[in-house]
Amino acid sequence: MLVGCLRGEADIEVIGEASDAITANEAIVRCNPDLVTLDIEMPAMDGLSFLRHLMKFRPLPVIIISSHTPPGSTTSLEALRAGAVDVMSKPLSPQSAADLGRRLKRRIRELRACPVRVRPLAQRRTTLRLPARRPRMAGGLIAIGASAGGPQALELLLTQLPPDVPPIVIVQHMPAAFIPLFAERLDQICPMRVAVATPGEKLMPGVAYLAGGNHHFVVEQSGGSLLAGATRGSPVHHQRPAVDVLFHSIARLRGVPVVGVLLTGMGHDGADGMVALRGAGHETIAEDAKSCVVFGMPREAIARGGAGHILMLEQMPATILGHFDLPDETGRATP
């Protein structure tokens, strides 16, 4: 079915098929593909184990297509953390087969248009050396957008920030049913609390708010408080929630220091929003190509002049924290 949906596309060629991990490994070495689609249930070695093997010895873009990866499943999230650039469910009907074909072709073309640097989470670990005396954090807001490769990048970045950071608002492109599971995973490992944003709730320091699915995430101002907001609206750049919608809403805030961060991802969602944030006088950070899984969204932000800083992922925590450091009692910045 997959071969059939791709056959006839002038810019896509299927150069090999395999029904088990051993045959697949041989075919990958022989054919040197640009991308692999991978099932979870296979003879001899399951797909997750084979994915981890590929990421260690032959990193390349992998799209998981399996009946074992329904939206919201733990297997789906583990595949993304292991290095898969996307996860799709096997179709249950002819109608859903057509939807899968369209989505798969779009992803293949997006990946071809973006430089891809695939590294599993285990190879992206880093440790931030925080000062012995923690700086006091000023009020403000941290806004983050991410797409393909984002689950890995967010896990690394958030675990390196202290628990008393200003509120963090996040749009991560992923199917709606994955988001609560992803928030739960981050909440278990991050210093701050991580939760799916509830429309109308007050944004509090020490909490990271993940956009829910199927609606756009915005930040609203009421008196001296920042509130999570939601709007249905049409998808923007094929996405709902969209990073651009969040960033544009934040650019309209008054009297709130903001750091906007655009991480790895395909396409250009968030690029215009970064321009708006920078134009409003806020700090903006785009992820450097050297640490991006997919250098698409950050590349567009840089090209449009929206990036005040271009940093590798491991450099970001210190820059973010430096923007919110309060002076000590002598009036000097805390060392």
Q: 283-287 and 193-196 as β-strands: parallel, antiparallel, unpaired?
A: unpaired
- At residue 250, does pLDDT exceed 80? yes
Which residue among the candidates 173, 215, 216, 248 is catalytic per the annotation? 173
Domain with CATH 3.40.50.180 in the chain: 123-324
Range from 7-16, 67-76, 94-103 carrying the lowest mean pLDDT: 67-76
Architecture (CATH level 2) of domain 123-324: 3-Layer(aba) Sandwich (3.40)
Per-residue pLDDT for 269 more than 50?
Answer: yes
Given 39, 86, 244, 269, which residue is catalytic? 269
On the question of pLDDT at 254 being above 90, the answer is: yes
- Please give the class, per CATH, of domain 2-113: alpha beta
Q: Is 96 a catalytic residue?
A: no
pLDDT of 330 higher than 70 = no
Active site residue 173: yes
Please state, in angstroms and rounded to a whole number, the distance separating the CA atoms of residues 206 and 7. Answer: 50
32-67 CB burial, b ≥16 within 10 A, e <16: eeebbbbbbebeebebbebbbebbeeebbbbbbbbe
DSSP bridge partners of 144: 170, 261
Query: Within the chain, which residue ranges are assigned CATH 3.40.50.2300?
Result: 2-113
Closest listed residue to residue 307, CA positions, set 284, 279, 282, 326: 284
Residue 124 has pLDDT above 80, yes or no: no
Q: pTM (2 decimals)?
A: 0.83
pLDDT at 333: 46
Among the listed residues 66, 73, 147, 249, the single catalytic one is 147
| Stretch 192-208: mean pLDDT | 97
